[in-house]
Amino acid sequence: MSELTLMQQRYIDYVVEAFPDIDADTYKKAMLYAGYSPTTKPNQIGKSVKEALYDAIKEKAAIIGVEALAMQIKLMRNPDSDKAWRQKMAVTDSIQDRIGILKKQESETKVMPMGIIILPEKANAKKSEEE
């Protein structure tokens, strides 16, 4: 991907700062904050910064995942301090699962050896029948 312009970087910074509380107005506000014209279509900017925005959001999501892990540890150490600890554990577990923290799914494929039957040649088979 090519180098981002200052406007593109400011657009990404605004959206990432708003994450995860992004709504339809966030992109319009990000455009104006970055210095784009109010008549610019949001999808024009979105296409040009798609990869960089995805990478920045992914990075921020990883930070949120670590925060969720820290909350889980606090809840596990003192579950009686919070009446809704089971719900919070489920939510933090879901966040970590979606982001890919701690849970790694591995699959193992076993190939079963197949037996091979070797038949005698047809010529030898005829001799065997005649005998």
Question: Which pLDDT score is estimated for 64?
Answer: 79
Q: What are the DSSP calls for 20-51, one per residue? A: TS--HHHHHHHHHHHT--TTS-HHHHHHHHHH
Strand locations in 1-131 (E): none
Question: What digits encode the pLDDT tens for the residues 41-64?
Answer: 878 887 888 889 888 888 888 887
Taking the CA of residue 60 as centre, how many other CA atoms within 13 Å lie in the half-sphere pointing to its CB?
A: 16
Tell me what the mean pLDDT of segment 93-122 comes to.
65
Given a contact cutoff of 8 angstroms between Cβ atoms, the answer to whether 41 and 76 are in contact is no
Question: Which pLDDT score is estimated for 70?
Answer: 82
Question: Which pLDDT score is estimated for 103?
Answer: 55
